[in-house]
Structure 1
Amino acid sequence: MTLPATPGPELVALLRRELGRLDERIGCLTRNRDAIRDYLEPRPESAAAGARWVSGTAG
């Protein structure tokens, strides 16, 4: 698609709405990525508990 050199007001409005939607989606994806990363990163206190659970000494 070739865009005109000087966009009209309707195209500008459309592109601004699309930009807003893209920004919202990027924010959502970023939050999800960060939540997964935080979930997967071992924490010192939970790593020891996880090791006890796996070795059969939990409980």
Structure 2
Amino acid sequence: MMDIVRPSDVDVINLATLNISKPQPGMRAASHGGGSSTSARFPRLFEEVNFLDLDGRVTGSM
């Protein structure tokens, strides 16, 4: 989990939020409780998140 968000990251986060806010094909409602509402609503979101360093290389993923 990133503790510090640099100002240059804000636009990327906003774009990602806009892209995942639309319903995705094959996405189903979570029927179980627990977990954050975000992970329940978007079960695949964090499987597709990559962290990039300042040169654009993938440094890790969630």
- Normalization by structure 2: what TM-score? 0.31
Counting helix residues as a fraction of each chain, which structure ranks higher? Answer: 1
Counting strand residues as a fraction of each chain, which structure ranks higher? Answer: 2
Higher relative contact order (CA 8 A, sep 6+): 2
Larger radius of gyration: 1
- Normalization by structure 1: what TM-score? 0.33
